[in-house]
Structure 1
């Protein structure tokens, strides 16, 4: 009886230990920041996500962000090639329209290997606390010298 108990304990402890070494899917990137970006100076809004490397990225991999496009059922995909030694990646959507106060907009961060297969994914959602109607109709400046466009100041 004593041998059976000891054998059972040994088998169960070995099973636990082998589970500790099971790495499962590897995490390469995490979402380190981002959100809705309202640029009042040029009267544009977009979404930005910051990807931070947590494990070395495979050679030839692609960092991708998929952004919800407000008011549609589609998503925009933005990609950057991975670079050795680069620890963060900033991915930004195109200009967005139809942002609503209280709206939730999903973002997916993906890592694809050189063949295009997805090898890592993280998701989040950004919440808007302002409405598109708060943006001016035209940019607040007319040129790179930031000459004020006074007709547009409310």
Structure 2
């Protein structure tokens, strides 16, 4: 009987949050090519591993595939969120089989960094396959009346 109680106590102690380790991990990452609206974005999902302090925020920096300054997205993290979704603004010039850098910083309410995650993202599709302009417009997906091609985007090699 004493052995059973000891085993139960050890098991319960192992289940307690030790307050150490990562808060989140990357559970998914993909480039989204929405051909209907002619946009591409980075999309990542994070799974919560333990309680995140109230008032925390996530700052995500996405490499700009077209060159120039990276895109920075900052969002509040709510304690009730089990899954966190991070999406970049629309990007241009995504090349297939090229690595793009993404850095995420989880900060508490005072700006103290709780966790930093760095990932490389690789697309299996080249953005040059996308239409220049949206194929549809409006809430009812009406065909785009502007059939003129958009000026070409100049992308780095």
What's the TM-score, normalizing by structure 1? 0.76
- Match of 1:32? 27
- Match of 2:134? 139
Unaligned runs of 5+ residues in structure 2 are: 1-17, 149-157
Distance 1:125 1:80, change over 3 A: same
What's the TM-score, normalizing by structure 2? 0.74
Q: Separation in 1 of the partners of 2:19 and 2:81?
A: 25
Q: Which has the greater radius of gyration? A: 1
More helix by share: 1
How far apart are 1:148 and its partner, in Å?
2.6
**Alpha carbons 2:53, 2:79 under 8 Å: kept:** no
Determine which of 139, 145, 148 is the counterpart of 2:143. 148
1:63-88, CA deviations, whole angstroms, 9 ceiling, x for partnerless residues?
A: 22211111325322212212121111
| Secondary structure at 1:26 match in 2 | coil
- Match of 2:63? 68
Unaligned runs of 5+ residues in structure 1 are: 1-22
Distance 1:83 1:41, change over 3 A: same
The answer as to 2:103 corresponding to 1:91 is no
Aligned pair count reads 130
The answer as to 2:81 corresponding to 1:82 is no
How far apart are 1:55 and its partner, in Å?
0.9
1:112-138, CA deviations, whole angstroms, 9 ceiling, x for partnerless residues?
A: 011212110122111112212101011
1:87-132, CA deviations, whole angstroms, 9 ceiling, x for partnerless residues?
A: 1111111110111122111112221011212110122111112212
Q: Separation in 1 of the partners of 2:86 and 2:36?
A: 21
- Match of 1:114? 109
**Alpha carbons 1:31, 1:109 under 8 Å: kept:** no
